[in-house]
Structure 1
Amino acid sequence: MVLFLTMIIFLLLGIVFFQYRVQKNKDKNLRYIYSKLEDILEKQTGEKLLVVTDDKELQKLLVAINHILVANQITNAEHAKVELSMRKMLSNVSHDLKTPLTVVLGYVEILHTDPTMKEDERQALLKKLHVKTLEVTELIHKFFDLAKLESGDQEIELTRMNLNEVCQNNILSFYDLLTSKGFSVQIDIPDENLYALGNVDVLSRVLNNLISNAITYGEDGKTLGMTLRGDEQVVCIDIWDKGKGISHSHIDKVFERMYTLEDSRNHLYQGSGLGLTITKRLVEALGGEIHLSSTPFEKTVFTIVLKRMIF
């Protein structure tokens, strides 16, 4: 009997000792996790928490913490990117507003200080002044448009759109201009009506931007096309031309805010670097995507992808 009780006592002591060791290891791991996590957050490093443990609950906790760290690192990276973009934008805004405003002030000074100027010269100068003033106004409107889109202040009502009608109306509005410039126009719109979730006014603005761009910077190819196509999930609108295109090294960057090309094919983002950014934000506001592919002097295609609605 004494032997039996002695064995039980030793067994209980073993259990207590084992539990003590387990708890001690757990406390040690928790202290390490706290210390390491504090260090990672303070120094904003890209490290993860790595702890060797058989504790299933602690393993789950580590996985959850590492997911949070990854999300935090992504947020910090995006914040840094936005900050850099904003600094670049402010620099470009200063330059893009300063240049035309300097010209405007010069014209005003000439008109104000030269009483001997002939009437025809005065009218010509006033016409130039008007053009420059419109340039400044348009640039300011672009900045406001982008600010509203990115802040979410601009509410866009989404409804069912007949894309056949939207595409036809927009390409027809450019038909006279295209023919006067000697363009060959290729339109591929199916007989079946394709519907998508969106906003007719917003999509029309996007199409007008892309068609205008294709006319201006695809003029070398003298060909412009619009293709409407779809499957069970999405509807795609292709606006394409055979002009000088965009080199492969620039394709991934042309939609970035304030990205500019000295030899840009796109006057919508040349200088201010806002046109294609606004176009992309508008497409995204419709719940869609926009993509670009380009082989210079063969085919440059902007593709708008929207969710299809089937009734």
Structure 2
Amino acid sequence: MITLLSILVVILLLVILLQYLNMRKHSRQLDYIHHKLERILGQGTHERLLMMSDSPQVQQLLTDLNRLMDINYQGAAQRARLEKSMRSMLANVSHDLKTPLTVVLGYIETLLHDETVSAEEQQRIMRTIHAKAGEVITLMNRFFDLAKLESGDRDITLSRIELGEVCRRNILAFYDLLSAKGAEVEIEIPDEPLYIMGNDEALDRVLSNLLSNSINYGDAGGVLGLKLYADAGRVYIEVWDRGKGIAEGHEDKVFERLYTLEDSRNRDYQGSGLGLTISKRLTEHMNGTITLSSQPYVRTAFTLSFPRQTF
């Protein structure tokens, strides 16, 4: 009996010892996780928690922590990009507002202090002031439009729309301007009606932005094209030209807020950098996508894609 009790006591002590050793091992693992996390968070690195463990619970904890750190790192990277974008946006806004306002102030000072200005010259100055003030108002309206789109405050009601009519209406609106520039126009719109769920006002805004962009930046190519086509599931609108295009590596950036090419800051290529951003947001609100492909002086094309309505 005594022998049996002794054996039981030894077994119990071994169990207690094993449990103690396991607790010590888990404690060391948790200490490692704690100190490693402190170092990663303190230094802001993108390291991962790597540790061998035979405990399923510890393995699951490591997996979850690594996923959480990945999410945190992605959030930090996104915040950094947003801050950079905001700084760039403020610099561009300052430039775009400062230029016309400086002209306005200069002309006002001329009217106030130069009594020799003729009545004809006064009229010319007033027309210039009016035009520059209009530029500022247009720019501010675009800012408000973009802010509403990105905050979800602007409601875009979708209905069944035939895109052929939308395309014809918008290219016709630019016909006089294209004729004045002597540009060749190539239009491909099928007789078959092609339907999507969209918004007339939003589509007019998007196409107007794309056509205006092609006229301003692509007129060196002497041709502008508008093509409407479809496959079994989607409808596509392509606005293209053979102008100077977009350099490689800039294709995605043109849709960023206030992004403009360097030469868009000179008087021949005035632009706020908001038109394509607004076009992208409006297209996405209509469940569509917008892409750009460009080979300078060969073919630069913006392509809108929408789910096709066949019923």
TM-score after normalising by structure 2:
0.88
Contact 2:199 2:286 in 1 (8 A): yes
Q: Deviations over 1:185-230 (max 9, x none)?
A: 2222334333333322112101111011112222222221122233
Residue 236 (1) aligns with residue 236 (2):
yes
Contact 2:264 2:271 in 1 (8 A): no
Q: How far apart, CA to CA, are the structure 1 residues paired with 2:240 and 2:87? A: 33
| Count of aligned pairs | 311
Contact 2:239 2:303 in 1 (8 A): yes
1:299 is displaced (CA, Å) by 0.5
Q: How far apart, CA to CA, are the structure 2 residues paired with 1:308 and 1:181? A: 35
SS of 1:135 mapped into structure 2: helix
- Which residue does 2:81 correspond to in 1? 81
Amino acid across the alignment from 2:198: G
Larger displacement relative to structure 2 (174-183 or 122-131): 174-183
Contact 1:293 1:301 in 2 (8 A): yes
Distance 1:270 1:280, change over 3 A: farther
Contact 1:240 1:300 in 2 (8 A): yes
Q: What is the root-mean-square deviation in Å for CA atoms of aligned residues?
A: 2.7
Residue segments in structure 1 that go unaligned for 5+ positions in a row: none
- Which residue does 1:305 correspond to in 2? 305
Q: How far apart, CA to CA, are the structure 1 residues paired with 2:238 and 2:266? A: 17
Residue 217 (1) aligns with residue 225 (2):
no
Distance 1:309 1:150, change over 3 A: same
Q: How far apart, CA to CA, are the structure 2 residues paired with 1:63 and 1:255? A: 36
Q: How far apart, CA to CA, are the structure 2 residues paired with 1:267 and 1:235? A: 37
Residue 112 (1) aligns with residue 95 (2):
no
Q: Deviations over 1:221-251 (max 9, x none)?
A: 2221122233344322111011121221322
SS of 1:259 mapped into structure 2: coil
Q: How far apart, CA to CA, are the structure 2 residues paired with 1:266 and 1:51? A: 57
1:310 is displaced (CA, Å) by 3.6
Residue segments in structure 2 that go unaligned for 5+ positions in a row: none
Trace 1:186-225 onto structure 2 (pairs within 5 A): 186-225=186-225
Trace 1:1-311 onto structure 2 (pairs within 5 A): 6-264=6-264, 270=270, 272-311=272-311
1:89 is displaced (CA, Å) by 1.7
Larger displacement relative to structure 2 (72-81 or 227-236): 227-236
SS of 1:105 mapped into structure 2: helix
Q: How far apart, CA to CA, are the structure 1 residues paired with 2:195 and 2:23? A: 63
Contact 2:111 2:122 in 1 (8 A): yes
SS of 1:156 mapped into structure 2: coil
Q: How far apart, CA to CA, are the structure 2 residues paired with 1:38 and 1:249? A: 38
Distance 1:187 1:117, change over 3 A: same
Amino acid across the alignment from 2:277: T
